[in-house]
Structures are given as C-alpha cells and as structure tokens.
Amino acid sequence: MNLAVETASEVPAWQDTARDPGARADALIAAMTLREKIAQLFGVWVGASDEGGEVAPYQHEMEEPPALDTLLPHGLGQLTRPFGTAPVDPATGALSLMRTQQRIAAANRFGIPAVAHEECLAGFAAWKATAYPVPLAWGAAFDPALVRRMAAAIGRDMRAVGVHQGLAPVLDVVRDARWGRVEETVGEDPYLVGTVGTAYVQGLESAGIVATLKHFAGYSASRAGRNLAPVGMGARERADVILPPFEMAVREGGARSVMHAYTDTDGVPSAADDRLLTELLRDTWGFTGTVVADYFGIGFLRTLHGIAGNWAEAAGAALAAGVDVELPTVKTFGEPLVEAITTGRLPERLVDRALRRVLVQKAELGLLDPDWTPVPAVLAGADLTDPAALRGTVDLDPAGNRELAREIAEQSVVLLRNDGTLPLARPARIALIGPNADEATAVLGCYAFPVHVGRQHPDTPVGLRMPTLREALAAEFDGAEIHTVTGTGVDDGSTAGFAEAAALARRADVVVLALGDRAGLFGRGTSGEGCDAESLELPGAQQQLLDTLLDTGTPVVVVLLAGRPYALGRAVDEAAAIVQTFFPGEEGTGALAGVLSGRVEPSGRLPVSVPRRPGVQPSSYLAARLAGPTDVSSTDPTPAYGFGHGLTYTAFAWSDLAVETGRTDTAGEFRLSFTVRNTGGRPGTEVVQLYLHDPVASVVQPVQRLIGYRRVPLGPGEECRITATVPADLASFTGRDGLRIVEPGTLELRLAASSTDPRLTAEVELTGPVRTVDHTRRLHPVLDVLDVLDVLDVR
C-alpha cells in the first residue's frame, strides 16, 4: 500500500506541512524499514530519454548499472544527471524526468520522489543550455553581484525542468597552476574565491536549487598538481587558505550541500574524516545540510586509499565521518551496508542520522508534500501525450541568458600588456593566426556540455550559437581583410605551418595570435579534469609559433583562450599587447573582439598569477618571504604579471590618503579614506584592492593577502572618495596552538591596483592582548564609494 495516498482523513505526519521538516523526517524514519531507509541514501546514474520516455540507468565504465525494478520498491534518494548524460531536447528531457519521478513515487509505499542533480559549473550542463564563462573568468571579473545574477539564472533554468540540486561551486583555492582543474576554480586567493563563490551559492539557492560546495577540502593542493593525488598540507595551510571559502559559503551563502574531496590529507581521506565533515563542518560551523560523495569516492576508500578492506567497511567509514549520500550510483550503500547493519557490524543510528538530513532536505524542497507534483514548470499546461510536439518548446539559452554571459565575458577579459597598439585603429589587413583562431569550442571549459558530453556524440549539433574568433573579428572590423591560418595545433607539436603563418604576418598590419588550451577530460585536452600539465609552457609548439611571429616585425597581439595561466616567454617584453581570457563562454569571442576594437573597456584582473618561467610551480602570490627570489637559489618565482593585475585604456591616480582611525585594539576596526581619479581620456573601471601585510607575527605569514576589493567605474575626469572600514578580525590567523587569533602589533594596509602595484599604504597598529576569534568573526571590510565628481577636463 502506498501510504502517501491514503484516503484517510488524517494526513500522514511526514506529509503534514504544518510540522517543521525535522518532525516530518522523524515521523517518516520511524515508519521505514532498513532497506527503505538506505534507499534514500544513494543515487542512480541515469540518462533522460530524448523521446520523452522514462530515464534508463547509464552504462558507464566505473560500475555496472543497477536494475531499477529491484531498487524502486524501496525508494530512491537521487537521480544522477538525467540531462547531463547525453544530448536530449530540454522539453522531452523534462518529460522523461517527470515520468521517471512518477514511477519512483508510485513504486515506494511513501510516495517519495528522488532529488535530481546536475552539474552547473559554467551553466546548466544540458544540451542547448547557456554556456557561461568558467569560474576562473568569474574571478577575473571581481564582481560577486554579477556572478550572483548569473547563478540565479542558471538555477531558474534548472528548477524549471525539474532539477533540485546543482554540483557547484568549486571553492578550491589554486595552489599549483599545473593542476588541470584550475579552470574550475575562482583563483589563487581565498578571499576572492570565498566572496565570488558565496555569491554563486546565493544566486543558485535563490532559485530553489541546492548548491553543493566542492571539493571539501584540499583537493587543489595535491602534490605536483596532479589530479586525485595525495595532499601534503599542514593544518595551518588548510585552516588559513583552503577552508575560509567554504566557511564563508556556509555562513553567508546558505549552501545546503557539501561534496567531499577525493584526496587524503596527511593520510586521512576526506570521505572518512569525521573531524572535517562532522566536528568542523557541522558542530563548529553549524552546517545542517547534506554531505554527498564525490562520484565513486566512497568506494575509493577501499580501492585507492586502502583504509577499508571491503565495501561495507568503506560505507561504514564514510557514514561515521558524516557522508550522507553515495553518488553517482549505488555501490557501498546498497547490499554491503544492509548486511553490515543486519549483522551488527555497523549501528543503524548512522543510517538514521544521514537519513534525517536527506529527508529534511526533501521536505524543504516540497518532495514530501501531499500536493507534490512531478510536472515541472516548463510543462505546466502542455499536452504531455505528444512528446514530438513538445520538442523545441523549451529555450535554455534565451536572450537574457546570453546578455548575462556577454556581460561576464566582457568584464573578465584581462589586458596584461599594451604598448599602445590597443585599441586597434581600423587596420586594413589582420593576420589571424593560431590554433584557437577559428575553433568555436575554444571558449568552453571542460564542464560545458558541448565539451563534457557533446564530444562523445559528434553527430549531434552543438546546440548553441558560438561565433569563432574569426567570425567575431569579421563582425567587429567590418571592411578589414582578415586572413586566417592555424600555424600549429593546440598540442600536436607541428611546426609545418610556421612558414605560411610568418608570410601572412609580414603582409599584415597587425597579427592577432590566438593561443591557449583545448578543454577536455582525463587527458583528452590540455585543460580540465585529469588534464594536468608537467610545466606551464604553452602546450605543443605554440611558444615556438609565438616567437616566430615576433621575429616578423609585425605588431603581435597575443590573445589567450585558456584554462590556466601560462608562461609567455618573449611576449612579456616584445608583444604589442597580451589579452588573457579564461574560457569566456559562448559570448566570449565577441567580448574579445570588443576589447581589441575599444568598443569594450578592459576591466578584468588576474585571479591567478602569470608566471615568467614555466617551471617554477608550485607558486602563488599568497606566499611567505622565503618563497620569493633569493641569492641562495637559482630559480626565481617572480611572476610576469601578479595576482590582481590588469590594464585599462585609461589611467587612474590615487591620492589623499587619510587615516581616521589608525590605532585600535584587537577587537576594534581601522578607518581610512582616499581618492581615485580617472586622469585619462576614456571611461574605465579601477578595481581597488586592499591587502594586509603583517611584518611580525608569531607564525610565518604570507607577505600580503587580499582582504577586500571593489570595482570603481569612472568616466574621463571623474573622481570619487572611497572610505574603508577594516575590522581587526581580518588580521586573524591560525596560531601555534591551532586557534585563530588576532595579535597586537604594527600592520600595513596596502591600497593597490594589484598585488604588485601598491598605490597607497597606511601603517596602523593593533593594541591590547592577543584575542582568540572563531567562526563568528567578521569576514569583510566595508569599502564605500562616495559621490562621483567630475573634476578634471581631460579633453
């Protein structure tokens, strides 16, 4: 009997919306058998039917697909990636998911549907859905409010077709740029990662989608930048660099899910780390949502980490640590877990603890309500009996989405170098050269659907309008002769096209050289998951092509469409200009062309340092004094362009620093103000960055670290007064005893255009005793922009 559809006058307690979600979950747990409980703790990897039929278990290389007829009578916790497994029309995919949810709810006696989750790292990872810039581009934009708007749009699209949970954002802080997943991160600074990532969470959650923070914690700190490799990291680095973005997203973002990392830190895998997943995340930070497994991560406790001798031990270790849901499909949380509990090897209370969190979330999502309907918003009122008529009726890439994608792409373009060549005058002849010159997917990261899934279906159209750089330049420079050759492939190492490229360059007024990456998965690209690099030299023969073109004497504008920063050799000193983008999405080439022409003012800033030499990793601007150049080492890690760097087509003057409160106790705050003026003849945006330098501390500190920033757009001749209020809490760090403290002493607050370009410095002092702070400390300064005044005639 399906207890959810009883005709009795009294509604079952778990369906009573007047009760709080916890009470509803408790009532349901009390009524469940062991198998029904465990069924809520795993997902099944499925693929929606393009014909509108029910989903089918996905045949993948890691596991045999389970039989749904065997599983569903007990219930099902999650559906894994119904839209993100194969190309499916959005409308018929929504119909397929709807019918599957009907089947799931009808098959179990409580009428409980599954949570459907999808990837949404750079947009909803579904066929024909908007492909936004990758997270590294979000970091380059330095604009959390814009990222929040984007995430809300992504969430609305997902929710409209019946999805409940998104596996994003990635809050890993870059520690080694050779790591293939750098493109998925926001950058190398925890404050930037935290603020931008938290904004993404807020946007996704505002649309009713459960945001999933990943990868908790330390995945990006693997040795040698290798994917899924051991992490050699001390407790202080973990506390002060890796964890703050997650803490911020839990405290301020309202994230309702966390995904554990694959890696182990000092021998303890994250999936089995109760101090991380329970003591810190839940008991200290107060997180109340679900912890989900990274795909196959619980099984890895046996196969890769070797801390479990069988599947039941792996399940027990994860459950005990605080993992609630096994993804992407059932393995350890199936029969092995049932047997372990029925034989007394594991206590059932571990299942009940995880189950309560899962059911509370389902109640919050409305999945336990008596009026729950499987019909998603896009199908409301439609004729569901004719799937063919539905095809093409759902638009996941509307004009509003494309406008958002364009805005983010434009704000994320970083001008690294410019000798005055940019913006381009009306050149008569442009030589467009390079492997990314005429490749539509060069703007996409590895989790964009056309790359992540579409390449496995070469006969299926991409489903998006993505102009190549050649097409974008032709539209931007109407009337110019644009001749295109590749010169070399992204990573094929071929030099056969060099002579043709050089000859073309000599006949042109300017060379636009499009270099960078090809996103892919597990070695099928030069950037992306499992596409780690041995050095930060440009892939293949791209550096040699660059040098060949510099030798022609024609001005070379280097344009990078990449997933990580690369050393650029001679170009740092000899290129006419260097323009960096990080997989800027479907509107990315238009944004690039606009910056080259001057139609778009460049305003992006580097979220990661660009190295001068390819072999100095791991390195980061967030480094102690000993990490800098010294007379006792033959290697110099000084970057070509530091974190936060980015040029504009105008100039800014910073002046009139006034320190109103320069001395306060360790519980107080500093106050200062200063003026920023646009002294050039064009509008522009200065990104004001606030860094903290602590010259003497009880433990080694980075030379400086970002503690605040703000975009400040100003027209020609305009100036504004900016006030900054800086809490002493922002000077806190993890002391020798593992507690976070604020120490008295002298500090420097550096107001800067980048980590390598301080403009104004305030020396301030903290007084009083050492103060211990915790997760309730203040996390942000207040940077207020007063009225903008037009004070200078620059005509």
| For the chain, percent of residues with pLDDT exceeding 70 | 97
Residue written as token pair 């995945």? 219
DSSP string of 336-361, one letter each residue: HHHHHHHTTSS-HHHHHHHHHHHHHH
Average pLDDT, stretch 33-56? 89
Residue 4 confidence (pLDDT):
52
Total residues found in the chain within this entry: 795
- Say whether 409 sits in a helix, a strand or coil: helix
pLDDT digits (tens, 9 = 90+) for 287-341: 999 999 999 999 999 999 999 999 999 999 999 999 999 999 999 999 999 999 9
Q: Give yes or no for residue 652 having a pLDDT over 90.
A: yes
Average pLDDT, stretch 579-598? 98
Residue 48 confidence (pLDDT):
83
CA distances from 770 to 697, 704, 737, 759 (A): 11, 21, 13, 30
Pick from 192, 123, 14: which is nearest to 755 by CA? 192
Question: Contact, 477 vs 426, CB < 8 A?
Answer: yes
Residue written as token pair 């994320």? 412
Tell me how far apart the alpha carbons of residues 169 and 139 are, in angstroms, rounded to a whole number: 12
> What is the token pair recorded at 153?
């749009």
The pLDDT confidence band at residue 765, using thresholds 50, 70 and 90, is very high
Rg (alpha carbons) of the chain, rounded to whole number: 27
629: exposed, middle or buried (Cβ count in 10 Å: 0-12, 13-18, 19+): exposed
The arrangement of strands across the sheet holding 705-714 comes to: 663-665, 757-767, 745-754, 684-693, 705-714
| For the chain, percent of residues with pLDDT exceeding 90 | 92
Residue 5 confidence (pLDDT):
47
The arrangement of strands across the sheet holding 740-742 comes to: 733-734, 740-742, 771-773
- Say whether 273 sits in a helix, a strand or coil: coil
Q: Give yes or no for residue 502 having a pLDDT over 80.
A: yes
Q: Give yes or no for residue 6 having a pLDDT over 60.
A: no
Q: Give yes or no for residue 499 having a pLDDT over 60.
A: yes
Q: Give yes or no for residue 618 having a pLDDT over 90.
A: no
The runs of H, that is alpha helices, within 444-516 are: 449-452, 469-476, 498-506
Q: Give yes or no for residue 794 having a pLDDT over 50.
A: no
The pLDDT confidence band at residue 231, using thresholds 50, 70 and 90, is very high
* Amino acid at site 618: P
Average pLDDT, stretch 541-557? 98
Q: Give yes or no for residue 750 having a pLDDT over 90.
A: yes
Question: Contact, 512 vs 430, CB < 8 A?
Answer: yes
DSSP string of 586-633, one letter each residue: TTHHHHHHHHHHTSS------SSPEESSTT--S--SS--GGGS--TT-
Residue 140 confidence (pLDDT):
98
Question: Contact, 193 vs 139, CB < 8 A?
Answer: yes
**Across all residues in the chain, what is the average pLDDT?**
95
pLDDT digits (tens, 9 = 90+) for 17-36: 999 999 999 999 999 999 99
Compute the CA torsion angle 119, 120, 125, 126 (nearest 10 deg): 100
Residue 793 confidence (pLDDT):
44
Q: Please count the other Cβ atoms lying within 10 Å of the Cβ belonging to residue 448.
A: 31
Average pLDDT, stretch 200-223? 97
The pLDDT confidence band at residue 232, using thresholds 50, 70 and 90, is confident
Residue 60 confidence (pLDDT):
61
pLDDT digits (tens, 9 = 90+) for 86-118: 999 999 999 999 999 999 999 999 999 999 999
pLDDT digits (tens, 9 = 90+) for 148-175: 999 999 999 999 999 999 999 999 999 9
Which range (74-78, 129-133, 453-457, 570-574) has the least confidence? 453-457
Average pLDDT, stretch 40-55? 87
Tell me how far apart the alpha carbons of residues 490 and 492 are, in angstroms, rounded to a whole number: 6
The pLDDT confidence band at residue 8, using thresholds 50, 70 and 90, is very low
The pLDDT confidence band at residue 1, using thresholds 50, 70 and 90, is very low
Q: Please count the other Cβ atoms lying within 10 Å of the Cβ belonging to residue 294.
A: 24
Average pLDDT, stretch 130-134? 98
DSSP string of 563-581, one letter each residue: SS--B-TTHHHH-SEEEEE
Q: Give yes or no for residue 639 having a pLDDT over 90.
A: yes
Query: Phi and psi dihedrals of 288, rounded to 5?
Result: -120, 5
Residue 268 confidence (pLDDT):
96
Compute the CA torsion angle 392, 393, 395, 399 (nearest 10 deg): 110
Pick from 213, 113, 129: which is nearest to 166 by CA? 213
